[in-house]
Amino acid sequence: MRKHITTRIASTSALRTRAAVVGMGMGATVALGAGVALAVDSPSSDHRPVAAAEQQADAAKKAESVKQAEAAKKAEAAEQAAAAKKAAAERAEKAEAAKKASRDHKRAPVKKAEHKPAAKPAHKPKPSSWTAPLNKYTLGSTFGLAGSHWAHNHSGQDFVVPTGTAVKAAHAGTVVKAGPNGGGDGPAYGNAIVIRHGAQVYTQYAHLSKINVHVGQAVGKGQQIGLSGSTGNSTGPHLHFEVRTTPNYGTAVEPVHFLRSHGAL
């Protein structure tokens, strides 16, 4: 009986020892598995912070690039909008100026073109070296007139003036005749003077009441040489004036035309 119990006890102890060994083995296995697991996970955990930091930096760079691109696009869009606004304002300003100019043109009175005659060149006539023998007068008997008052046709031009009117030299020259009896041309002339003005140009002044010059005297244009009267063959006070080609009677030419052609009348 005791032997049987001892055997059972021994068997039970053996079983328990096996179980303990198995349990230890399993524990070792479990512990080893856990260790292996830890060993496998351990290298990944060591590199994870570095990779994450790089990823975050890349993400940050990408985000900054996107942000900068968007800002550039916004700035460009704003610049384009400002340019378009400025161009529109300039067009509006030009259009308004054109409208205003059109309104002003319509309101402005239309001026007719004035036609001004072409300006004539200033021309001052040269002063004549000749003058009328009297300042004031009335033309009387003309050259070439026929009648009972003259033995031949009238040889000069009569200037009707009162007695005592100043008689002037019609042109500068030298006295070649002066005195009564026509200065040698005959009693019909009364007191007379003849002045030489150049080759074939002479003037005669007759019917004078007074003579103020003498033969050989030089006289100037407009110089007083005597006073008008009615001496000789005369019907009233006047000056008988002749233009001659010689100093003597019978060579007279039309005196009014001569004086006018020389700017004296």
Write out the DSSP string of 40-51. HHHHHHHHHHHH
Contact between 155 and 145 (Cβ < 8 Å): no
Among 137, 165, 148, residue whose Cα is nearest residue 233: 148
Q: Are strands 218-219 and 157-160 parallel, antiparallel or unpaired?
A: unpaired
DSSP code, position 39: H
Q: Which position among 238, 240, 257, 262 bears the catalytic label? A: 238
Label each residue of 170-230 as H, E or C.
CCCEEEEEEECHHHHCCHHHCEEEEEEEECCEEEEEEEEEEECCCCCCEECCCCEEEEEEC
Task: Give residues with Cβ within 8 angstroms of 212, minimum separation 6.
Answer: 224, 225, 226, 227
Question: Does 238 qualify as catalytic in the annotation?
Answer: yes
Nearest of 233, 190, 194 to residue 210 by alpha carbon: 190
Can you give the C-alpha Rg of the chain in angstroms?
74
Positions marked active-site? 238
